[in-house]
Amino acid sequence: MSKRLVAWAFRSGVRKGIVGGSGPWLVVAVAAGAIRFLNRPPRSTESIKLNLRPGERYSIVCAEEPTRSSR
């Protein structure tokens, strides 16, 4: 389904279902919300844990040299 269609269905369902009190539109809002929830990108699970003692430092270095635009 198109993102625009799902977004429209969610907005209309919330407006007409929750605010307006229509049961069928509430079902549309819940279904569209479920589609939006299931289609979102997964979160990154990478984590870095640093154990630093007082006075120690760390630095972050880019692995690749940044490209320079030529004029």
Domains of the chain: total? 1
Nearest to 12 by CA among 2, 58, 24, 43: 24
Does residue 21 sit within a domain?
Answer: yes
For residue 61, the model assigns a pLDDT of 78
| pLDDT above 70 (res 66) | no
- On whether the pTM is more than 0.75, the answer is no
Does residue 67 sit within a domain?
Answer: no
In the structure encoding, which two tokens stand for residue 39, read together? 């289609």
Does residue 70 sit within a domain?
Answer: no
What are the tens digits of pLDDT across the range 9-63? 999 999 999 889 999 999 999 999 999 999 988 887 777 788 888 998 888 777 7
**Where would I find the H helices in 1-71?**
3-13, 23-38
Does residue 59 sit within a domain?
Answer: no
Does residue 54 sit within a domain?
Answer: no
Distance CA 48, CA 34 (A): 32
Does residue 27 sit within a domain?
Answer: yes
Give residue 11's domain range.
Answer: 3-38
In the structure encoding, which two tokens stand for residue 48, read together? 């870095």
For residue 38, the model assigns a pLDDT of 93
